[in-house]
Amino acid sequence: MKNLTVKILQKAAISANEIQQITDLINTVYKSSEGEFWPSDGSYSRTNIDEIADFITKGEMIVSMYDNKIVGSVHVYPIDKTTLGFGMLTSSLDYRKMGVGNLLLKAVESFAINNQYSIIQLELLKPETFNHPEKEFLEKWYQKWGYKHQETIPHEKLYFKQATMLKFPCKFDIFQKLLL
């Protein structure tokens, strides 16, 4: 898509309204893809304005723009000196199948290379007892990009408080990609 771009956000260059837009985008996409995982009473949302503002302050938020509109985002963060983690990779529901996810994943990999990380890691939340179509799609998509399954961890081992809110048991499949 010709007018599709990515950029790492800087606190001084982003408005409170844009932070709200990113927060809303992430929560809307996660509600669409994981809505049946979580309570529907409004007690759970994937993220909040304070968390996104903190990521931006740390230089850990990459967004995708189409004609100056935020249409995707991803959070990147250090796990250790050699491993970059990423999560909350989202593409606006209105801009799916237009290359937003691919562009964001390329940006994650460029960020990792530019900051001398040799490994990239992601956590993919999946139900323990059944296959979820969107999660299966994402697993295949990440594998196509060269990410390999490393281990499976029960949700509660990583995020205990969150795990208590789940409607059914879930796990994280941990994927990594070695950068050459």
4-178 has CATH 3.90.78.10 classification: no
Phi, psi of 2 (to 5 degrees): -60, -45
pTM: 0.94
157 Cβ contact partners less than 8 Å away, ≥ 6 residues apart: none
* Domain-wise residue ranges, the chain: 4-178
The 8 Å CB, 24+ separation contacts for 150-155 are 150/121, 150/174, 150/175, 150/176, 153/123, 154/128, 155/125
CA distance 22 to 89: 11
Q: Which two tokens stand for residue 130?
A: 């059944």
- Residue 1, pLDDT above cutoff 80: no
pLDDT tens track for 93-149:
999 889 999 999 999 999 999 999 999 999 999 999 999 999 999 999 999 999 999
What is the reported pLDDT for 2?
Answer: 67
- Residue 17, pLDDT above cutoff 80: yes
**Mean pLDDT, range 2-19, rounded to an integer:** 82
Asked whether 127 and 170 are in contact (CB, 8 A), the reply is yes
